[in-house]
Structure 1
Amino acid sequence: MSALSLFVAGTDTEIGKTFVSCALLHGFARTGLRAAAMKPIASGAVMRDGMLHNEDADQLDAAATVALPPDMRTPFMMREPIAPHIAAAREGIALDIGRIVDAHREASTLADIVVVEGVGGFRVPLDETHDTADLAVALNVPVVLVVGMRLGCISHALLTAEAIASRGLTLAGWVANRVDPNMLYPDENIATLKQRIAAPLLGVIPHLTSRDAARAADHLDVRTLLDTLHLKD
């Protein structure tokens, strides 16, 4: 039987997709699931020990309980920390969605659940005609939306939820991540989003100075998420 799987999308870049993905991995592990992680496309890598390393991918590896081979975990890794389609073009790389789908299929045979982290926001270009929304559609898995709680997040979140629905994808839930500790009226913003997003709020992660994903997992309702994934499956 294939693993359960989900695609972690964000309202923007630098809003905690990796942090929340790692927290989900910890949460799944606590339920006894063998959890693997993919970061199919990563921009921003350095050579270490003879291999390219990306910080986000390394964090996912540390949180996962099933280690995937680097070329399966991240089929495409570029050196420059810039938009992936620009980085790929500069390095002569074609970001082939089919290759990622094949890697995901293989990963699904090795674990009980696979967390696939997107890159940037939900509609980051991959080439002249495709973006990360097309990747999510090709993977055909439910989406978890990470909302970075800061000024402007309501519109970003609602537009992203609308884009997810327009692609025929299931929004399995969303996570409010307190990226700005000085945001005014965060609870009121979250209440507004709860009224307008037709998917469960899976948790509110407070601003953690240590960025401890295991602690963040304490604030996530992975049981509700797993119920949704099982229903979709």
Structure 2
Amino acid sequence: MARNGITVAAGFSKGRETAERLQGELASDGANVIVVQGRVDDPADCTRVVKEVLAKYGHVDYLINNAGITVDKTMRKMTHEDWQAVLNVNLYGAFCMTKAVLEHMIERGFGRIVNISSVIGETGNVGQANYAASKAGLFGFSKSLALEMSQRGITVNCVAPGFIETEMVASIPEAALAKVIEKIPQRRLGQPDEVARVVEFLLDDESSYITGAVYSVNGGLDM
């Protein structure tokens, strides 16, 4: 998106060196990117980050809630802390960031909100009760907010990727990943750009009549 001319404020909670390296790589391609540090599950941090972006750019057109973590354990081994940690970032974090920017979008009469869910929110997965619950929650959150904002010029949609070639998926043991790929009708992992293009479409004026939708980007895994 940054390479296609959209000014991006990318948030991170830790790993400043990695965030600044990404900023530098995109800047070398002519993209306008800033990185801002904060926790999505901290309402005060979310408000501060939005204020920083507004101070620099004057307005916010788009919000992409893509923060996510996993703490995978079977239900019998999962602790209350394991459950809450994932729900805090993946679901409550989307609420906090949306809450921080929503009044600004309402005042402007325009906004595009895209929540990044997961195919696991639809199918469930062994050892991921917390993750599945958080991602399924984004479906209901998106549809409810879409209804509330439907006459305010703000669309709210959800993108549910499947297994995408990322660092998170790379951590899956090779044998287990091979079994996953066997279940994907296209017999391959998705690429980050394939998800990004769907998100870009939902930010574009061409998608202005689409709200409350869930876009599956998973190679047919949920069929």
TM over 0.5: no
Q: TM-score, normalised by structure 2?
A: 0.44
| Higher strand fraction (1 or 2) | 1
| Higher helix fraction (1 or 2) | 2
Larger Rg: 1 or 2? 2
Higher normalized contact order (CA 8 Å, seq sep 6+, divided by chain length)? 1
